[in-house]
Amino acid sequence: MVKANKKTALILFSILFSLLIVSTAGIFYFKSKKPKNNTEQSSSRKIKDKYVAFLFEVYDTIQQNYWDKITDEQLVSLYVLGTEKLTEKKQEIRAKDQKSLEKLLSDKIKEINEEEKKKEFTVTLADIVLANLQPFGRSRLYSQKEEVDLKNRVENINPQTDQYGILGTKKDASPEELKKAFEQKDIELKEDTSPEAKDKLAAVNKAYEILSDEKNRAIYNQSGAEPTMEYKLLSPQIFYLHIKQFSPTTIEELLSVTQKVDKGETLNTLILDLRDNVGGAIDGLPYFLGPFIGNDQYAYQFFHQEVREDFKTKIGWLPTLIRYKKVVVLINENTQSSAEVMAAVLKKYNVGVLVGITTKGWGTVEKVFNLNGQFDPNAKYSAFLVHSLTLRDDNQPIEGKGVEPNINIKNKGWEDELTKQFSFPVLTQKVSEILTPKTP
């Protein structure tokens, strides 16, 4: 009876995850709606020059959507300093207000004779202003190509890589054909002594890892998305799961990989590795965290213009995770963004013991904002803007601080501390081996 109920729950979870992936695929790469009230403010100014109008639309987008409240004086100063950098001349402005800034920008645009140079001035100035918002360099002016590249990074898609081509097979190759091609490549490259052979062998192994798994292959065939997880059983008791980033497919992967090892009575320990996780699709965390802490739980907060916004989990426990009574979460200095949020949430709810060193402290949420006033028919620009800060378990910003481990591996005797925590010396040994791998 228990097994039957568990199977039913997994089927329901699978259906729910599939629905979530379909219904939320458009927001995972932080594509925002139109900036608030930008059209009203721009039209009220009635700016005739399309370049100046564009620069003021960027101005409005920043003032209304940037994570911190920014005054006209502060924002005008950034535009003036940016103009000075581009013109290499000191700029005089009567007052640090929008009217004076409009006159300054109009005068500078009129001084430029060539249209291409006007475009270059406008694009560069907008990018300088965005880049100089704090944290420095996080906000930028994006071209359409850069926006597409961002979407692909978040969805873990590399259009330049053909995994079938790496193995030298066709897309409709059978599993047997894939295996044969892999084995042949493996033998050839292991005999190759050239400097490039090692990298090629790693690529071949990765390609076969993706395509030999039925579900991973189906996802790759459909969207081009590559797996975000690596996993293996370290012993009959210990399951190791490494999440390399968060993408729209990560939830489905979690269900799939935990189902594969959901066997036996002794498996009760999970090592969840978030080291070097670059973050990614933070919009999916209310769904991804639910399986670890339960449904409708306060998970994390965003801080935007002095307002804290709570995010609660939207789904509940994952049946294939319930068996893990002992959980170690590995973090390091390259754990960043949404991975830091996850680490902070697991720490807050005592789901696992965080082991490693303090995370990177990249605690910003960036969003892409459409810009309506495009000035070039051959180009389209958007504002990539830091919209919010994420908060850790003590309500302090993750940005610049990071998430601290429960057990810091820089401290002498950390292994003894971990053994005392779980009374499980084999777990300590496995964690130590992962953190200090043997050199070949």
Q: Coil, strand, or helix at residue 289?
A: coil
Q: Give the model's confidence band at 73: pLDDT under 50 very low, under 70 low, under 90 confident, else very high.
A: very high
Per-residue pLDDT, 165: 94
Residue reference for tokens 């009567």: 94
Q: Give the model's confidence band at 45: pLDDT under 50 very low, under 70 low, under 90 confident, else very high.
A: low
Q: Taking the mean position of all CA atoms in its chain, how far away is CA 136?
A: 18
Per-residue pLDDT, 438: 60
Q: Specify the higher pLDDT residue, 405 or 35.
A: 405
Q: Coil, strand, or helix at residue 310?
A: strand
Report percent pLDDT > 90 for the chain. Answer: 77
Residue reference for tokens 């004779």: 113
H or E segment at 182? helix 175-191
Q: Specify the higher pLDDT residue, 115 or 283.
A: 115
Q: Which residues of 387-419 are buried (b: 16+ CB within 10 A; e: fewer)?
A: bbbbbbbeeebbbeebbbbbbebeeeebbebbb
| pLDDT of 110 strictly over 70 | yes
Structure tokens at 135: 């944290």
In angstroms, the Cα distances linking 251 to 219, 358, 367 are: 12, 26, 21
Q: Give the model's confidence band at 42: pLDDT under 50 very low, under 70 low, under 90 confident, else very high.
A: very low
Q: Give the model's confidence band at 395: pLDDT under 50 very low, under 70 low, under 90 confident, else very high.
A: confident
Residue-wise pLDDT tens digits, 343-394: 999 999 999 999 999 999 999 999 999 999 999 999 999 999 999 999 987 8
Per-residue pLDDT, 25: 31
Structure tokens at 248: 């729209």
| pLDDT of 413 strictly over 60 | yes
Query: What pTM was computed for the model?
Result: 0.86
| pLDDT of 132 strictly over 80 | yes
Q: Taking the mean position of all CA atoms in its chain, how far away is CA 47?
A: 37
Return the half-sphere exposure (C-beta side, CA atoms, 13 A cut-off) of residue 347: 27
Per-residue pLDDT, 44: 52
Residue-wise pLDDT tens digits, 256-282: 999 999 998 999 999 999 999 999 888
Neighbouring-strand partners of residue 304: 307
| pLDDT of 6 strictly over 70 | no
Per-residue pLDDT, 394: 84
| Among 349, 336, 313, CA closest to 399 | 336
Query: Could you tell me the sign of the dihedral formed by the alpha carbons of 33, 35, 36, 37, in that order?
Result: negative
Task: Write down how long the chain is.
Answer: 440
Structure tokens at 180: 């044969």
Neighbouring-strand partners of residue 300: 311
What's the mean pLDDT in 150-158? 90
H or E segment at 231? strand 229-233
Q: Give the model's confidence band at 24: pLDDT under 50 very low, under 70 low, under 90 confident, else very high.
A: very low
Q: Coil, strand, or helix at residue 279?
A: coil
Q: Coil, strand, or helix at residue 201?
A: helix
- Which stretches within 1-49 are classed as H helix? 2-24, 38-45
CB atoms inside a 10 Å sphere around CB 190: 11
Residue-wise pLDDT tens digits, 291-307: 999 999 999 999 999 99
Per-residue pLDDT, 47: 84
- Going along the chain from its start, the domains and CATH numbers come out as 2-26+228-435 (3.90.226.10), 38-65+71-132 (no CATH), 157-225 (1.10.287.110)
Look over the chain and give the mean of its residue pLDDT values, rounded to a whole number.
Answer: 89
The full DSSP string for 332-380 is -TT--THHHHHHHHHHHTTSSEEEES------EEEEEEE-S----TT--
| pLDDT of 31 strictly over 90 | no
